[in-house]
Structure 1
Amino acid sequence: MDRVNTTVSFTHCCKKPPERSSLWRAALACLLALWLAAPLAQAQNHGEVSDLQLQRSADGLYLTAALQLELPEVVQDALYKGISMLFITEAEVLRQRWYWSDKVVVRATRFLRLSYQPLTRRWRLAQSPVPFAATGLGVSLGQNFDDLSEALAAMQRVARWKIAEEGALDEGTPYEVNFQFRLDMSQLPRPLQLGAVGRSNWNIALSRSMRLPAVEAAR
């Protein structure tokens, strides 16, 4: 009986590394998805500035605005749990320059703090020209309300807010006024800050701009 010799050979299998062009296509696809998603997140700003008026008088520049604000459910839930929400109202007066970026001539800021008192079941809205201190409200004006809708109605009205003093604006020069109302997420408790990253439900930012015509100097 003849002996049969069997030879077994092994061939090492190596996976072919992905082509560089495939990696580039995947990276570009991810960047495109992020670019498309960014405007969607910014568009969900939960309201609008429905009216903006500027009044120039002898003692300065006054701003009046009306907001249409819708608090997201996550923000309302946090309020009912006793977590205060801080908002910033800001107005900038810019002088346009053809040779450089626009110059901020005046910046005015107001700070709002909305809170719910579970024991009394009442809402409190405090307003201050300076940031609220960590240990108290500081110099502020406070109002109490029976329900959230009343507190929001007060927040949505900005009546004759003096944003520039007399002499701050030059005669014969046009200006641009940018108005913004936003939730100050930096004042949220740390766990909420981490949870709010990338979530448009917390992105409350209403803005509107208006041109302030030049006023001719009196002769």
Structure 2
Amino acid sequence: MNPPRLRHELTFRLNIWFGACLLWLVLACWPQAHAQQDSITRVTAVKLEPTKAPAAPGWNLAAEFDIQLGNKLREAVDRGLPLQFAVDFQLFRPRWYWMDEQTLATTYTYNLSYNALTRTYRLVTPANTYTSSSLDEMIDRMSRVSQWTVVQREQIAPGEKYTAQVRFRLLLTELPKPFQISALVNSEWDLSSEWVTFEFTPRREALK
């Protein structure tokens, strides 16, 4: 066999061997990587309720979420990395002749941190500040939002149909830069629910 042909055949076989090894490595690592992607969040209940404050008529958002922090996020909090989460609310007015018009958009934020000296977790919301020795208790507090006024009476027209959307997410842009880069390639940092959409028709009599 002439040398050029021999080199070509050896190169071909080495490429096949390398590809087979690479495929085996991916398949071997996949179950472990998949098992670690255990951060989950989803919207389980949502509705708009008339506010009980006569001085500020409008509608409050009442929502519940199923939030499960994976090992990566729990470890980050316990090592002193503050995490910020958000509940996003959007309201659209349908238009038959064009895309729906966004009437308003607002965000409710949570700041979660851990103090190693006192061994307590701290959760700061727009309304209150909570402390506890239990991370699960803080997560449970984040899983419900109520008495959050998202719609003022003057922002919408009674009797018209609107489309509302809600989601829960980790604010990756608020992480330190090195963690933002890691989050781009590591799905364990991905904690964002799908948008949940529901219809809303405001009634003027509901605010009386």
Q: Normalising by structure 1, what TM-score?
A: 0.70
Q: 1:173 aligns with which of 154, 160, 176?
A: 160
For 1:77, the equivalent position in structure 2 comes to: 75
- The separation in 2 between residues aligned to 1:108 and 1:85, in whole angstroms, is 19
CA contact (8 A) 1:171 1:217 kept: no
Aligned-pair CA distance for 1:68: 0.5
Residues 56-92 of structure 1 show CA distances to partners (whole Å, capped at 9, x for unaligned) of: 4571011101111011211111111100001111111
Match of 2:129 in 1: 142
Q: Secondary structure at the match of 1:90?
A: strand
1:105 is matched with which residue: 103, 106, 109?
A: 103
Q: Which moved more, 1:72-81 or 1:57-66?
A: 57-66
SS in 1 for 2:59: strand
**Aligned in 2, Cα 1:190/1:215: closer, same or farther, shift over 3 Å?**
same
Separation in 1 of the partners of 2:123 and 2:204?
41
Aligned positions of 1:34-49 closer than 5 A? 46-49=40-43
Structure 2: tracts of 5 or more residues without a match? 9-33
Q: Kindly report the root-mean-square deviation, in angstroms, between the aligned alpha carbons of the 2 structures.
A: 2.6
Question: Which residue of structure 1 aligns with residue 45 of structure 2?
Answer: 51
Does the alignment pair 1:182 with 2:169?
yes
Q: How does 1:188-199 map to 2 (within 5 A)?
A: 188-199=175-186
Post-superposition CA distance 1:4-23 (Å, at most 9, x none): xxxxxxxx99x9xxxxxxxx
AA aligned opposite 1:117: N
Query: CA offsets, 1:14-43, max 9 Å, x none?
Result: x9xxxxxxxxxxxxxxxxxxxxxxxx9xx9
Residue in structure 1 matched with residue 121 of structure 2 by the alignment: 123
Change over 3 Å in CA distance of 1:44–1:83 after alignment to 2: closer
TM superposition score normalised by structure 2 = 0.73
Identity rate, percent: 25
Q: CA deviation at 1:47?
A: 2.1
What residue ranges of structure 1 are gaps of 5+ in the alignment?
A: 1-11, 16-39, 129-139
Deviant stretches of 4+, over 2 Å = 213-218
Give me the whole-angstrom Cα distance separating, in 1, the residues matched to 2:202 and 2:74: 43
User: 1:217 offset after TM fit, Å?
Assistant: 8.2
Report which of the two has the higher share of helix: 2
